[in-house]
Amino acid sequence: MKRVMILFIFLVLTACAENEEPVESAETVELTVSAAASLKDAMDVIADKYEEENQNITLQINYGGSGSLQQQISQGAPADLFFSAAEDKFDLLVEERNIEEEDGIDLLGNELVLIAPTDGAEEMEGFQELINENVDKISIGTPETVPAGAYAIESFEAMGIWNDIESKVVYAKDVRQVLSYVETGNVSAGVVYKTDALISDEVAIVETADPKTHTPIIYPLGVIKDSKHYEEAQDFYQFLQSEDALKVFRDYGFTAE
């Protein structure tokens, strides 16, 4: 009888174990972030920190010119967040209802600077010198898709030198390509954000553009309305506004409230 009872209990426990649902691990979620190229160095640091604290999240960051990224999202490219280097590109997505107003914030600021190769920077004094014959090529971002390029032209026009230098301009797909052209000496000078200039030992800042000569440089951040991982996107959106993240941005030269 005792053996029968033991066998019965064993069978009951075995049946219960077989009917138990397996414990599922947290689902891995990949978030796609479309971010301005000028954010790359700071965002890479922040992304590593966030992934370390959130093991179930993988961040896929697509860097490029804000205008190009905006066009991709408008045309249906998958994205969960958009981090722009210009308000007008961001506002287009808000107008299209790709981003709800309450899911967006103006997060960062930046400055526009004239740069030259380190070994030749001492020979250049500022923007006005760009009209001289010894400056043969000047690189800026393509203004239609790269906000820094549009800001640069605004400044050139405000300084009264655009007509004199337009023929010298070499357009680039984003600010990092401008930086590369200057680093390699393919151009005499370029206009980028201060944050881009600070990451390179091969270029020097010649002059900072007067903020009054161009549209304020503001970086809006927002969650895409139709994100397939809206809650997770909202969490990263909030993390980017945290003091830990803002400190990283400031360390890389951005301004933040």
CATH number of domain containing 41: 3.40.190.10
66 assigned ligand-binding residue: yes
Query: What is the domain extent for residue 139?
Result: 112-213
Number of separate domains in the chain: 2
- 201 in a structural domain: yes
- In terms of domains, do 99 and 129 share one? no
Closest residue by Cα to residue 106 from 214, 222, 239: 222
- In terms of domains, do 204 and 140 share one? yes
Q: What is the CA radius of gyration of the chain?
A: 25
pLDDT reported for residue 37: 93
- 202 in a structural domain: yes
- 21 in a structural domain: no
- In terms of domains, do 147 and 134 share one? yes
Q: Low-confidence residues of the chain, pLDDT below 50? A: 1-14, 16-25
pLDDT reported for residue 26: 61
38 assigned ligand-binding residue: yes
- In terms of domains, do 174 and 208 share one? yes
pLDDT reported for residue 228: 95
- In terms of domains, do 181 and 239 share one? no
148 assigned ligand-binding residue: yes
Give the whole-angstrom CA distance, residue 105 versus residue 135: 40
pLDDT reported for residue 4: 42
- In terms of domains, do 78 and 49 share one? yes
- 183 in a structural domain: yes
- In terms of domains, do 143 and 159 share one? yes
- Cβ-count burial 109-146 (b if 16+ within 10 Å, e if not): ebbbbbbbbeebbeebeebebbeeeebeebbbbbbebb
- In terms of domains, do 167 and 127 share one? yes
- In terms of domains, do 209 and 117 share one? yes
User: Are 151 and 215 in contact, with CB atoms under 8 Å apart?
Assistant: yes
Cα–Cα separations (whole angstroms), residue 41 to 20, 196, 197: 47, 9, 12
175 assigned ligand-binding residue: yes
84 assigned ligand-binding residue: no
